Chains A and B, each alone.
Chain A
């Protein structure tokens, strides 16, 4: 299988040509990656490189696509190192030079893994980002220790980019980073050259963002931005739908932006059929995720957007989207808006499956439950106004049963509210989980009523 056909095969599955991708085993993928590497080294094929943008604080070009290290492929509950290594290598060869990890991704294994993988490339050729785990820190005195541990875990002398992870409350920011001296320590490290540029990643509300922007100088910021979360200047921010406000503030202060969740945790990679049809009419061969990436990349202040890629299909698709990157033009934007119009009011829960809410003290698989609901409830016509019948109801129950283990289903939620403050999207998780539970109970009742009615 040469590279071109392989891309067709793998790309084909990305585009949803049923079955093909599902048949490729892990070994097939590894073999294909090896073949691709050999072909590139021998100069047989010339790979296009991912487009780059100039990032002033580091005085260098960074790839538009960054490799997020939060969703590595797994095997038997552990990171599949071999496959991860080859996937990263594929991305690296195609010009991806931005890698983003954090202290607690993959339960702390992410930093080690990416550090080990990147060891074999020249240090100057890539940009490595790490983050100070704000949510885990209680005592500011731990900060130096954690920072040293991060350098050790990654096996590097310095971080190109260093962010305060997930700032969401002013109280904690002031306590840890201002009063506790965390920010001073990190600025000191920047003077020492162990941090090359300093910023923060953000999960709070707009006033807090404005406060951070107005009162401090930052080299960069990382915000959540995608076409669903964007609000126009005349729209007041609502929940996670505040990216527009954040971006405009950063623009005002001229702070470069790094973007997380450009595909909204994969939500925008799987669109409802009617929305997808509209996009397909414009770009028959492009995936839904490519639209999401192009939307983000069209914003001029964006340096790099991060995608936590866990399959080779995603890597290939994202790399091909960002190679010779084409921003959305006005016509494209109209098509996207049209598809979004169809996308409104689907009853979807705005979850990105980041799993920051884990672990639930009562064992509920929150992200799994919500994901099943988001993926299937609307698609099967079971939300309000839908036309789903008994067959669809049964299908939903089977999907739910298959996706979530018995002890991890929504009916075990106790409304203990432990998950709520952890959610970066400010979703009222217990309410939503109970909503799903009620929904499931209602389906069961409906199905039984129908069956009993038929038997009488």
Chain B
């Protein structure tokens, strides 16, 4: 039984490494697609089913061996225990049920009404992803480049192109990281058990889980070690009860129990003493105050969601003209409804063109991927973003489809062009256009000028990226609904 904790630690390490590597481009993105919220959004019923049924059977195993943010907090808590030498620092705390369900209602409201910002800020996987993509990945890239320079004589290591960081996303990720660090350092799993909506959903199910840790009263000596080691603060040794809605199956209590009284399995009803049952009854049910509190919070949340929605729609409409979405995003509504802004597509973008948005999509679409043609252009022969997207916000497109997906249209601004300003016939836009939509044609003065054939343009931005003029003489305007190239006008080749 005591080996369960090692089993958990092993699985946790495997999972967190795998997810993190996926962001750094070192492994496939399979584990990202098994996260609860992305799987729900993707409609990946198999993964959702396994997680939910698993939770009903075994409790919140998801939080300790699948969720990278949960595992990360376990790690922080572990280090904190080592450094502070206060391994036994936890005490039983009462569940903050009002807060938990209020946040859940807010989250669900945001999810269903398409107010992206709420799920974006609350989804644990998305938050972990942004921390990796905005804080760890730059460090990783720099160190790879550094190593590549050192060993360049003996080994060939591909360097990364270093792109400028998006400050807002970086600052937000740093703030979030600090909060998580503080919460986990001092409170163990307090974040998972009060804020995290996934924790609340799974917690609700695991309240009724079939198997869970429990205390065999006959063997228990009430030493309290389990309570003091419980990062979820969910063991109450006084009553001998465990709040299974907060237990994340970390198995630490089983490992520290000196008498083996702490067991994982099915608790037999009759073994609960009458006295303990009595106290538990008073402890568990929803009090009236809590009920009213939850209701009020729910109404408040709903109101907040609705007001936020009207506001986002307005601001989205205001800044709507130019922004270009990644191919496969289809419509702006779809992208904003489904994306949790984890940043996986941004990290894996081959052309370096996907960057986290600031407010271009409106507040509801903060940190969502957008095309930034200053840092790159969409590679004609690449469909990575759709391939890696765990939520289905960017649809996976086969190469053929990707190449005929129209994400924007190029517009030529005559007076910005070098040909007009400095009489340099540069032709870079035509030279790099993959569909030959931009060509150099002569005007009536015999001057060579670029000309955009709107029927062929797919909006990849190669022209805008390569345009040397400042401000750009050719730029791509996004479409709020992505289009297909018409069959007969597709370029031959």
* Chain A residues within 8 Å of B, Cβ to Cβ: 18-19, 21-22, 362, 395, 398-399, 401-402, 405-406, 411-417, 434, 437, 441, 444-445, 448, 452
Contact = CB atoms under 8 A, between A and B. Distances in A.
B468 A412 contact: yes
B424 A399 contact: no
B466 A411 contact: yes
Contacts of B426: 414-416
Contact of B352 (A22, A406, A416, A417): A406
B424 A402 contact: no
Of B152, B418, B428, most buried by chain A (CB within 10 Å of CB) is: B428
Contacts of A411: 428, 432, 466
Interface in B128-161: 148, 152-154, 156-159, 161
Interface string B158-187: 110100000000000000000000000000
B153 A362 contact: no
Query: At the interface, is chain B mostly helix, strand, loop or mixed?
Result: loop
Interface in B365-423: 376, 381, 399, 418, 422
Contacts of B156: 395, 398-399, 402
Contacts of B223: none
B381 A401 contact: no
Contacts of B450: none
B120 to A, nearest CB: 29
Contacts of A448: 381
A402 B381 CA distance: 21
Nearest to B376: A406
A445 B379 CA distance: 11
22 contacts: A19-B153, A19-B154, A22-B153, A22-B154, A398-B158, A398-B159, A401-B159, A402-B148, A402-B157, A406-B352, A411-B428, A412-B428, A412-B466, A414-B426, A414-B428, A415-B424, A415-B425, A416-B422, A416-B426, A434-B431, A452-B381, A452-B399
Contacts of B424: 414-417
Contacts of A406: 161, 352, 376
A230 to B, nearest CB: 32
Contacts of B399: 452
A18 B466 contact: no
Give the size category of B's interface with A. 20 to 34
Contacts of A405: 161
Nearest to B375: A406
Nearest to B377: A411
B152 A402 contact: yes
B38 interface: no
Contacts of B161: 401, 405-406
Nearest to B422: A416
B199 interface: no
Contacts of A452: 381, 399
Contacts of A362: 468
Given A402-B157, A415-B425, A452-B381, 12 more contacts: A402-B148, A402-B152, A402-B158, A406-B352, A406-B376, A411-B466, A414-B426, A415-B427, A416-B418, A416-B426, A445-B381, A452-B399
Contacts of B153: 18-19, 21-22
Interface string B426-439: 11100110000000
B128 to A, nearest CB: 28
Nearest to B145: A402
B429 to A, nearest CB: 11
B158 A401 contact: yes
Contacts of A416: 418, 422, 424, 426
A413 B432 CA distance: 12
A401 B468 CA distance: 20
A298 B157 CA distance: 42
A301 B278 CA distance: 111
B149 to A, nearest CB: 8
A269 to B, nearest CB: 15
A416 B468 CA distance: 11
Contacts of A18: 153-154
Contacts of A434: 431
B374 to A, nearest CB: 10
A448 B431 CA distance: 19
A445 B493 CA distance: 12
Contacts of A444: 381
B447 to A, nearest CB: 15
Contacts of B422: 416
Nearest to A405: B161
Nearest to B462: A411
Which 5 residue pairs spanning A and B have beta carbons closest together? A414-B426, A22-B153, A448-B381, A406-B161, A398-B158
A362 B381 CA distance: 27
A394 B351 CA distance: 16
A296 B391 CA distance: 67
A445 B381 CA distance: 8
Contacts of A21: 153
Nearest to B161: A406
A405 B352 CA distance: 13
A414 B468 contact: yes
Nearest to A21: B153
Nearest to A19: B154
